[in-house]
């Protein structure tokens, strides 16, 4: 961690004991939940944007879903997770936080579940993409029918440990092709005429896109 990252991490607002317990669980079991500084920023975006409806790709243990809902308790959140074990862990965490009535948990591959949401003609004010990085372009394209003017799309991990800017740090071949995919995604996102986008270098890198028209 460089000095700036350390400073930001040290100064991030303290969480409740319940949220810190989830962070500790994630650390112990190596669940890649969002980092404190970028998580804090995501909740701030939710406070600013005040979405009534939120879609999340990648529930894991339900941490970011619960944090987003905490930032706007009036929202209704739909979250997709393919791993059954994660889905069940999230279910129990959501129950502990008594948020079952605000969260719809869907289990399955995001692309398949998104197709169902599209078939139901659902739309969302806020979409958080935090699932398999190799598929971000597909996820982004797939959710388009679920968006409207003003929809905010936030993607996590778009700087991928800094690999996207410094490929010399990459040792494994698999990571190289994954990095290429993320680089391509970022380049396309920043040129997409339907969105105003910006990349924020906190946590593992966050992009924010706001849709211009329907």
Contact characters 136-155, ligand SAH, x per CB under 6 A: --------------------
Which among 80-88, 95-103, 146-154, 190-198 is the span making contact with ligand SAH, rule CB under 6 A?
Answer: 80-88
81: contact with Mg ion by CB under 5 A? no
3-state secondary structure the chain: CCHHHHHHHHHCCCCCHHHHHHHHHHHHCCCCCCCHHHHHHHHHHHHHHCCCEEEEECCCCCHHHHHHHHHCCCCEEEEEECCHHHHHHHHHHHHHCCCCCCEEEEECCHHHHHHHHHHCCCCCCEEEECCCHHHHHHHHHHCHHHCCCCCEEEEECCCHHHCCCCHHHCCCHHHHHHHHHHHHHHHHHHHCCCEEEEEECCCCCEEEEEECCC
Interacting residue with Mg ion among 131, 133, 156, 202 (CB under 5 A): 156
103: contact with ligand SAH by CB under 6 A? no
33: contact with ligand SAH by CB under 6 A? yes
Interacting residue with ligand SAH among 23, 49, 51, 82 (CB under 6 A): 82
CB of 2 to ligand SAH, least distance (A): 22
Q: Which does 86 bind (CB under 5 to 8 A by kind): ligand SAH, Mg ion, none?
A: ligand SAH
CB of 58 to ligand SAH, least distance (A): 3
56: contact with Mg ion by CB under 5 A? no
Interacting residue with Mg ion among 23, 56, 81, 130 (CB under 5 A): 130
125: contact with ligand SAH by CB under 6 A? no
Q: Which does 81 bind (CB under 5 to 8 A by kind): Mg ion, ligand SAH, none?
A: ligand SAH
64: contact with ligand SAH by CB under 6 A? yes
- Residue 150 backbone zone (phi > 0: left; psi -120 to 50: alpha; other: beta): left
Coil, strand or helix: which one is 27? helix
């Amino acid at each position: 961690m460089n000095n700036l990252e350390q400073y930001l991490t040290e100064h991030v607002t303290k969480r409740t004991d319940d949220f810190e317990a989830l962070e500790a669980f994630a650390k112990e079991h190596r669940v890649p939940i969002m980092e404190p500084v970028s998580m804090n920023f995501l909740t701030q975006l939710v406070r600013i944007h005040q979405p009534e409806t939120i879609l999340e790709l990648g529930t894991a243990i339900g941490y970011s879903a619960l944090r987003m809902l905490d930032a706007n308790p009036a929202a209704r959140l739909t979250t997709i997770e393919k791993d059954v074990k994660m889905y069940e862990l999230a279910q129990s965490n959501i129950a502990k936080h008594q948020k079952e009535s605000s969260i719809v948990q869907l289990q399955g591959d995001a692309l398949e579940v998104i197709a169902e949401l599209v078939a139901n003609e659902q739309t969302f004010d806020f979409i958080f993409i935090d699932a398999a990085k190799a598929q971000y372009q597909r996820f982004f394209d797939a959710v388009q029918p679920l968006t409207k003017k003003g929809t905010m799309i936030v993607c996590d991990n778009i700087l991928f440990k800094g690999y996207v800017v410094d490929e010399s740090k990459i040792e494994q071949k698999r990571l190289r092709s994954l990095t290429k995919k993320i680089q391509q995604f970022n380049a396309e996102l920043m040129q997409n005429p339907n969105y105003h986008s910006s990349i924020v270098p906190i946590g593992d890198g966050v992009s924010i896109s706001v849709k211009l028209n329907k």
